[in-house]
Amino acid sequence: MDRLRRRLKESPDENANAAVAILMRPVDDGLEVFLVKRAEVEGDPWSGDMAFPGGKRGSQDTSLVDTAVREVMEETSIDLRGHEPLGYLEPLFSWVRDTFSVQPILYLYEENPTITLNYELTKYTWTRVKELEKTRSQAVVKGWDSPVFKVGEDVVWGLTYRMLERLLVALGED
């Protein structure tokens, strides 16, 4: 984890519009990441997508960490209060809304929480990073020909795919 920490930013870009939490937990042969599937909602560009929990910064949020903690609690009932972020990836801009940036915040989460999804999500999964890497392929998603990772019957693409790519680089060998 020390090598990963050195490869991450030490503070978030507070100019970002939203934040997501990349929850990672150790398993015997590496790490798992926590992914959720967004509910189908008309007009939502991320509708039905596999993603990391998180969302838009609210007026009550004093920081993007506050945003991630609040959103993760609202969406999954996972309480990140008292958990220090491991670090931060560079924010990414959405292809759908090119002025909208999202700050990924990494957490090492060693607990096995009870998860209750709210109406915004339809399912969740812990996915082994090593297995995810093996599923990289190309697919047409929502009319876009895109690189994807496969997670069971679902695909991870777009913004979340790009975040995972950056995570894989950060986790890579020296």
Closest to 25 (Cα-Cα) out of 1, 59, 51:
1
Q: What is the pLDDT of residues 4-38, one digit of tens each?
A: 999 999 999 999 999 999 999 999 889 999 999 99
CA–CA distance, 2 with 4 (Å, rounded to integer): 5
Instruction: Give domain limits for the chain.
Output: 2-128
What's domain 2-128's superfamily in CATH? Nucleoside Triphosphate Pyrophosphohydrolase (3.90.79.10)
Q: What is the pLDDT of residues 150-173, one digit of tens each?
A: 999 999 999 999 999 999 999 986
Q: What is the DSSP letter of 117?
A: -
Q: Which residue did the predictor score with more confidence, 110 or 29?
A: 110
- Two tokens at 62? 């004093």
CA 153 to chain centre: 19
**Residue 14 is which amino acid?**
E
Closest to 109 (Cα-Cα) out of 88, 130, 132, 126:
126
Most distant CA atoms of the chain, gap in Å: 44
**pTM confidence score:** 0.93
